[in-house]
A and B are shown apart, each in its own frame.
Chain A
Amino acid sequence: MRDFSYLRAGSVDAAREAAALPGAMLLAGGTTLIDLAKCGVAEPDTLVDITHLKGLDRITVDERGATIGALARMGHVADHADIKSRFPAISEALWQAASAQIRNMATMGGNLMQRTRCPYFRDPSNFPACNKRQPGSGCSAIGGVTRGHAVLGASDACIAMYPGDLAVALAAFDAVVHLGERRVSVDDFFLLPGTTPDREHAIEPGEMITAIEIPGSAAARRSTYLKIRDRQSYEFAAASAAVGIEFEADGRTIRDLRVALGGVATKPWRARAVEAALNGKVLEPDAVRAASLLAVEGAVDHGANHYKIALAPRVVARAILKLGETA
């Protein structure tokens, strides 16, 4: 790991100012950044530590929704009683992510800045070509070992998968990222790779995530996060789904369905086609399975990741049917 200078920010404004300088980066939990610095992927000149800033770890939940400070840690949010009762999919996405140790370190804001686990991205000495690291250098993953790569939202420049869980649940429930005064929807916060895979987030130099806001809804209250992976715990998703349902008064007709996918796309992937196909319909297994196929409309495989195209709709269908059983 290359050496860098370290400073503790005294305020949000001081942090933003210091991190806007060339070569400077914000440091929160460090679970991505210190790891990538050891890999030689991140080479900061200065780390601006924000973990000691006061007041940015508050969690407030009421009828209108939840506002979670950027420095609230994943483990605390996962265990928060009101998050568990009003936003079960958020709690489940959090506790199924990483390990207890990492969840105690990693912050909510830092989680949104998590980088891909593409092994080619993480290994600059063996794979110099990576458009995400070095724009224009090429993509080592295309034509390589692709079992963990994206089938949705990829481009000719990059097929790296978005690895997180939390943001998938946030996307399903229309969460909003607070960048100080500026507000950006989670859907707009994450960028498709296109021709600029080096740019992953709609955040500008001098900006810092200060909070995440999740509107309250009946669908968020009846929600779940289903994560399928190669081993039962402490693993990234092979495919996952954040699903929420609000039923009409009859308890069978779907009024408001929310579906977002993880483990299959280059960003948290809202599956609006599935929602549109089932809203207004009676929840019925065959209809749910047929509509869930729309989750992977337009999917393109790169060989070994083909299984994700078959797996993702089944994960979506199982999550919807599981929520239906509790009606």
Chain B
Amino acid sequence: MTKTTIPVHLDINGHHHALEIEPRVTLLDALRDRLGLTGTKKGCDHGQCGACTVHVDGERVLACLTLAAQAQGRAITTIEGLAREGELHPVQAAFLEQDAFQCGYCTSGQIMSAVACIREGHAGSDDEIREYMAGNLCRCGAYPHIVAAVRQAALEVAS
């Protein structure tokens, strides 16, 4: 077993980052603790809550169960990379408009998940939104407003 660090190069929100980290460092810890990108939240740290959802090569994944080293060579998008030139992403705007959060801790994960859910074509009905957003827990119970926000954003993206 080795205690040494390894070089890991990450492409995050279009920016290149060079890190020297232990192989066990997850993408979540690399984002938050090494790069100061604290918009991605640590909830359960075991893949059960969805708070750490980010996009890797355009697909939603859990940063807590991804090693940073595994993400080298992939394009990573976090909540900080969604807005374009100061303008909120339609899903971010819909979450504000529909009041789709209370404490806000799960929100960045919800939004990253929702962006992908719509892109996958799994936001066709409220039932489908509930099923395909099931990996994002909200302990405040803001689910009805979250579903409304995803429905609104899906319509906007389609139009």
Give the chain A neighbours of B122 by CB distance below 8 A. Answer: 100
Contact pick for B69, options A6, A99, A104, A105, CB 8 Å = A6
**A76, chain B: closest CB distance, angstroms:** 9
Is the C-beta of B120 less than 8 angstroms from some C-beta in chain A?
Answer: yes
Contact A3 B130 (CB under 8 A): no
A79 to B1: give the CA distance in the assembly, Å: 40
The distance in angstroms between the C-alpha atoms of A153 and B66, with both chains bound, is 34
25 contacts between A and B (CB under 8 A): A1-B24, A3-B23, A3-B24, A4-B1, A4-B23, A5-B2, A6-B23, A30-B65, A30-B67, A38-B45, A39-B46, A47-B23, A51-B70, A52-B73, A100-B113, A100-B116, A100-B120, A100-B122, A101-B47, A101-B50, A101-B62, A102-B47, A105-B66, A232-B130, A233-B134
Q: Which residue of chain B has the shortest Cβ distance to A44 in the bound complex? A: B1
B84 CB to nearest chain A CB (Å): 24
B53 CB within 8 Å of chain A: yes
> Complex formed: what's the CA distance from A153 to B63 in Å?
36
A-B CB proximity, top 4 nearest: A99-B135, A6-B23, A233-B134, A234-B134
- Residues of B at the A interface (CB closer than 8 Å) are 1-3, 6, 22-24, 26, 45-47, 50, 53, 59-62, 65-67, 69-70, 73, 113, 116-117, 120, 122, 130-136
- Contact status of A233 and B23, CB under 8 A, knowing A6-B6, A30-B66, A49-B70: no
Which of A1, A39, A95, A104 has the most chain B CB atoms closer than 10 A to its own CB? A104
B61 and A104 contacting across the interface, CB-CB below 8 Å: yes
CB distance from A97 to the nearest CB of B (A): 11
Total CB contacts across the A-B interface at under 8 A: 95
> Could you say which residues of chain A place their CB within 8 Å of the CB of B46?
35, 38-39
A30 to B66, CA, bound (A): 7
- Contact with B60, one of A45, A95, A101 (Cβ below 8 angstroms): A101
Chain A: how many interface residues by the 8 Å CB criterion?
Answer: 34
Complex interface residues of chain A between 17 and 61 (CB less than 8 A to chain B): 23, 27, 29-31, 34-35, 37-39, 45, 47, 49, 51-52
The interface bits of chain A over 152-194 (1 if a CB of B lies within 8 angstroms of the residue's CB, else 0) are: 0000000000000000000000000000000000000000000
Chain B residues with CB under 8 Å of A51's CB are: 70
Determine the distance from Cα of A5 to Cα of B132 in the docked complex, in whole angstroms.
Answer: 35
Instruction: Flag whether A2 is at the interface (Cβ < 8 A).
Output: yes
